[in-house]
Amino acid sequence: MKKDDISNKSLATLLIVALVVSIGGTWLVIDRAPGILQITGAPSTDTGTATVTIESTASVRFAVNAINFGTGKVNTTGGNTICILDSNGTNSSTQCINFTQQNGNLTLENDGSTNVTVQLVSNVAAAAFFGGTASLAQFRYAVQDNESMSCRNGTGGGSMAISSDAAGNCTAGGAAGGTLSNCTFSPQGWTDVNVTAPGSTICQKLLYNNTDDSIGIEVNLTIPFDAPAGTKTATFTATATTVT
């Protein structure tokens, strides 16, 4: 065989050696200069958003929802024809026998997320509540702030308008020109319950702040001597309407 004749076997061997040398050289370049593979460019950013819309809620609840005067009767042996009870502690021992004295009111709280106007209605008036002689029966109520300045007038103020009402209640066109929009809580004096829905406006603007968001509703009962025996229950319903 001639010197310059190269077998296929020899060519294959040389090719393998060349590949090894080529791969080894490439690895050496990468190892010694790693920065050669770094790809650079301007950073990319983007933003995302989370959106929620919260609706206002007009809501009131009776935080104290019951007044129970217990069991008793009119003291007719003393010549009395009525027994007067109220949630301010009135329980005449001369007129009434055995009833439980009460010194707390129904407490109405704004538990919503907006200021509200509040109306109050009873499901029953005095005559139907007690029975007996209708001219003797009385079922009355009054309103007060339970937390200071909870109830504001129609313009957001805290002053009670002077009224022509002898009981000091807020009425349109009082002696000093007072109007209903100037009222805060009303009535302030004992007033017959309203049984016509949605009832009487007892607060023009009841705030929803946790520290000043409640009013008290007091009750006054005049029970006739001839009221039939049995448990008597009246229900107040409060309605709240959003007000700015």
User: What residues does each domain of the chain span?
Assistant: 60-70+104-242
What confidence tier does 17 reach under pLDDT thresholds 50, 70, 90?
Answer: very low
In single-letter form, the type of residue at position 67 comes to: I
Single pTM value for the model: 0.73
- The region that residue 149 occupies, defined by phi over 0 for left and psi between -120 and 50 for alpha, beta otherwise, is left
Neighbour tally for 94: CB within 10 Å: 10
Cα(154)–Cα(148) distance, integer angstroms: 17
pLDDT tens profile 171-200: 544 444 444 555 678 888 899 999 999 999
Cα(109)–Cα(60) distance, integer angstroms: 5
pLDDT tens profile 210-234: 899 999 999 999 999 999 999 999 9
